[in-house]
């Protein structure tokens, strides 16, 4: 009997503890920063090693294999093919980085490019670790974007690394509007890498394919950044809101480089000083 009461008390204490800690994003100095500080360097090394190995594999060994086959037919051409493929890869990475740079110029805020070095260990929560932190000017609450659209926001910062909450996480919220008719709502994380566009009034005519952009009213994401497109609309018979699903343009599975939007006002002020 005593054991059962003890277990029940433990469960209750546990639930209360989790409820309290769920609000931790409000605090500025979470204990998690220490663990990120300890683990992130290992993640960075592992991440870079994998990328290096993958690059070597796909751009060298693959190439050697192809070159060997070609050697049998056109020995003279093999060095050219080798170079050609190398250039192709360079071109691809060039295009990718140029698009990032072009986007960086297009946005009004100062942006900092960062590399993704780790992902959330659980499939239920969606966060990533990036290789830029407080020393690079990153602060908690800063928006993280890529040319395809909004990726998330910084929720924890250590000296060299930061944790980013993706917009597909259930804890995430983005104030957004439909580009066509300016219907406003809140983008919340949903299941299957989708988002829910909540609190959209029933009176608004929303159709599948409509583009959703940030409204800028949440004070985190600048106005006009693309979030995704409407993929499903359910208009219940009762209630004042409609249920809208949004598929983000960002492919969160292939997120490798991101831009952190530095707080423009603060940096302008620092520049003036």
Partner 1 sequence: MTFCFHFCICLCLVIFQTTVMPYFPLFDRFYDLLAPFVIYLSLFHSVRDSIPVILFFGFVMDSLSGGPFGLYLTTYVWLFVGVRWIITFLHVGDSFLLPFVVAAGVLMQNCIFIGTVAMLEPGSRFSSATINTVGVQVFWAIFTGPIFLMFFNYFHGRWNRWLKKVFVKKS
Q: How far is the CB of 255 from partner 1 (least distance, A)?
A: 9
Task: Tell the residue number behind the tokens 């993706």, with chain if given.
Answer: 166
Find out whether 254 and 96 touch, Cβ atoms under 8 Å.
no
Selected from 149, 185, 190, 248, the binder of partner 1 by CB under 8 A is 190
The whole-angstrom distance between residue 116's C-alpha and the CA centroid of its chain comes to 9
Chain-centroid distance of CA 188 in Å reads: 14
Site string for partner 1, 48-77 (x = CB under 8 A): --x---x-----------------------
CB nearer to partner 1: give 185 or 190. 190
Binder among 36, 112, 178, 244 for partner 1 (CB under 8 A): 36
Cα–Cα distance for residue pair 111/107, rounded to 1 Å: 8
The verdict on 123 binding partner 1 (CB under 8 A) reads: yes
Among the listed residues 109, 146, 157, 163, the single contact to partner 1 using CB under 8 A: 163
Query: How far is the C-alpha of 42 from the C-alpha of 257, rounded, in Å?
Result: 18
* 132 binds partner 1 per the rule CB under 8 A: no
User: Quick check: 239 binds partner 1 (CB under 8 A)?
Assistant: no
- Residue 245 · residue 231 · CB < 8 Å: yes
- In the set 114, 150, 165, 178, which binds partner 1 (CB under 8 A)? 165
Identify which of residues 34 and 201 has a Cβ nearer to partner 1 in the complex.
Answer: 34
**Integer CA distances (angstroms), 219 to 134, 141, 142, 175, 214, in order:** 20, 9, 10, 9, 10
Burial category of 152 from C-beta neighbours within 10 Å (exposed 0-12, middle 13-18, buried 19 and up)? buried
Does position 199 bind partner 1 by CB under 8 A? no
**What residues line the site for partner 1 (CB under 8 A)?**
14-15, 17-19, 21-22, 24, 30-36, 38-39, 42-43, 46-47, 50, 54, 117-127, 129, 155-156, 163, 165-166, 169-171, 190-192, 196, 253
């Amino acid at each position: 009997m005593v054991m059962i009461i003890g277990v029940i008390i433990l469960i209750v204490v546990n639930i209360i503890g989790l409820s309290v800690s769920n609000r931790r994003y409000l605090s500025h100095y979470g204990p998690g920063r220490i663990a990120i500080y300890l683990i992130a360097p290992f993640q960075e090394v592992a991440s870079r090693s994998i990328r290096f190995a993958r690059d070597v594999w796909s751009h060298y060994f693959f190439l050697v294999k192809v070159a060997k086959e070609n050697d049998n037919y056109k020995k003279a051409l093999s060095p050219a093919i080798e170079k050609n493929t190398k250039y192709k890869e360079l071109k691809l990475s060039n295009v990718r980085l140029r698009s990032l740079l072009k986007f960086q110029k297009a946005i009004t805020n100062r942006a900092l490019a960062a590399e993704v070095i780790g992902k959330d260990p659980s499939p239920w929560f969606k966060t990533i670790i990036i290789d830029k932190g407080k020393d690079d000017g990153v602060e908690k609450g800063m928006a993280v974007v890529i040319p395809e659209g909004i990726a998330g926001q910084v929720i924890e910062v250590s000296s060299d690394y930061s944790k980013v909450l993706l917009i597909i996480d259930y804890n995430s919220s983005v104030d957004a509007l439909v580009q066509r008719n300016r219907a406003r709502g809140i983008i919340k994380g949903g299941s299957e890498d989708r988002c829910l566009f909540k609190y959209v009034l029933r009176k608004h005519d929303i159709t599948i394919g409509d583009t959703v952009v940030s409204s800028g009213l949440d004070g985190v994401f600048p106005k006009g950044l693309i979030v995704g497109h409407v993929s499903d609309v359910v208009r219940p018979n009762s209630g004042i809101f409609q249920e809208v699903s949004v598929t983000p343009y960002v492919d969160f599975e292939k997120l490798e480089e991101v831009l952190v939007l530095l707080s423009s006002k603060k940096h302008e002020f620092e520049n003036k000083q």
